[in-house]
Chains A and B, each alone.
Chain A
Amino acid sequence: MPLLEFSNVSKHFGGLQVINNFSFHVDQGEIVSIIGPNGAGKTTVFNLITGIYTPDKGDIRFEGKSLLGLEPHQICARGIARTFQLLRLFLNMSVRENVMSAAYPRTHSNLAQIILRTPGFRREEDRIRAMAEEKLGFFGERLAGAFDQLVYSLPYANRRQVEIARAMATEPKLLLLDEPAAGMNPNETQEITQLIGELRTRGGYTILLIEHDMQVVGGISDRVIALDYGEKIAEGKYQEVATNEHVIEAYLGRRHKPFEPGSQGAGEQG
Chain B
Amino acid sequence: MASEPLTARRRGGSEIVAQALERWNALSGSARFFILLAAAATVPLLISNDYVIRIAGNVCLFATLAVALNVVVGYAGLLDLGFIAFYGIGAYTYAILSSDQFGIHWPSWASLIFIGLIGLVFGLLLGSPSLRLLGDYLAIVTLGFGLVFAQLALTLDRVELPWREGTVNITGGTNGIVKLDPLNFFGFQLSNVTHYFYALLIWLAIVLIIVHRLNQSRIGRAWRSMGEDALAAESMGMPTRRLKLLAFSCGSAIAGITGGIFAAWQQSVFPQNFSTDVLITLYAMMVLGGISNLGGAVLGACVLAIAPELLRSPELSRLIFYSALGLGLLLLMKPRRNGLIVLVSVIGLGVLLRLIVQAAAPDLLSPPTIRVAAASVSTALDRFSQQFGIYVQSWILVLKEPLLPGNIAFVVMIPALLALSRMKPGRLKFGLTIPAIYLLIFVWETRLAAEPAVTRLLLIGGLLVILMIFRPNGLLGRRKVEIV
Contacts and interface: CB of A to CB of B under 8 A. Distances in A.
On whether the two chains bind one another, the answer is yes
Interface of A: 50, 52, 71-73, 76-77, 81-82, 84, 88-93, 97-98, 100-107, 109, 111, 114-115, 117, 121, 124-125, 128, 150, 152-153, 156, 166-167, 169-170
A103 B222 CA distance: 10
Contact of A92 (B231, B234, B236, B478): B478
Interface in B226-265: 228-229, 231-240, 246
Given A101-B236, A103-B218, A170-B237, A90 B482 contact: no
Interface stretch (B209-217, B310-318, B411-419): B209-217
A101 B216 CA distance: 11
Contacts of B217: 109, 114, 121, 125
B237 A90 contact: no
A170 B232 CA distance: 12
Contacts of A92: 224, 228, 292, 478, 480
Nearest to A97: B221
Contacts of A106: 237
Interface string B193-230: 00000000000000000100110011101101100110
B484 interface: yes
Nearest to B240: A73
A260 B210 CA distance: 60
Given A93-B224, A104-B221, A107-B218, A76 B483 contact: no
Given A88-B232, A90-B229, A114-B213, A102 B237 contact: yes
Contacts of A102: 236-237
B225 A73 contact: no
Given A104-B236, A111-B219, A125-B217, 17 more contacts: A72-B235, A88-B229, A90-B224, A90-B233, A92-B224, A92-B480, A97-B221, A100-B218, A101-B224, A102-B237, A104-B221, A105-B238, A109-B217, A152-B482, A152-B483, A166-B236, A167-B236
B361 interface: no
A100 B478 CA distance: 20
Nearest to A128: B218
- Most chain-A CB neighbours within 10 Å: which of B217, B218, B229, B483? B218
A115 B236 contact: no
A100 B237 contact: no
Interface in B361-401: none
B2 interface: no
A150 B478 CA distance: 10
B453 to A, nearest CB: 39
A73 B234 contact: yes
Contacts of A72: 234-235
Interface of B: 210, 213-214, 217-219, 221-222, 224-225, 228-229, 231-240, 246, 292, 478-484
A74 B265 CA distance: 47
Contacts of A167: 236
Nearest to A150: B478
Contact of A91 (B214, B221, B228, B239): B228
A263 B268 CA distance: 75
Contacts of B478: 92, 150
Shortest beta-carbon contacts, A-B, top 6:
A105-B237, A76-B237, A88-B232, A101-B221, A90-B228, A102-B236
A153 B483 contact: yes
B238 A101 contact: yes
A77 B242 CA distance: 15
- Most chain-B CB neighbours within 10 Å: which of A106, A115, A167, A170? A115
Contact of A90 (B225, B240, B483, B484): B225
A115 to B, nearest CB: 5
B196 to A, nearest CB: 25
Given A89-B232, A114-B219, A101 B214 contact: no
Given A90-B228, A91-B228, A156-B484, A100 B221 contact: yes
A89 B478 CA distance: 17
B218 to A, nearest CB: 5
A107 B239 CA distance: 13
B480 A84 contact: no
Contact of A82 (B219, B233, B235, B483): B235
Nearest to B232: A88
B234 A104 contact: no
A101 B217 CA distance: 9
B229 to A, nearest CB: 5
B239 A115 contact: no
Contact of A170 (B228, B236, B479): B236
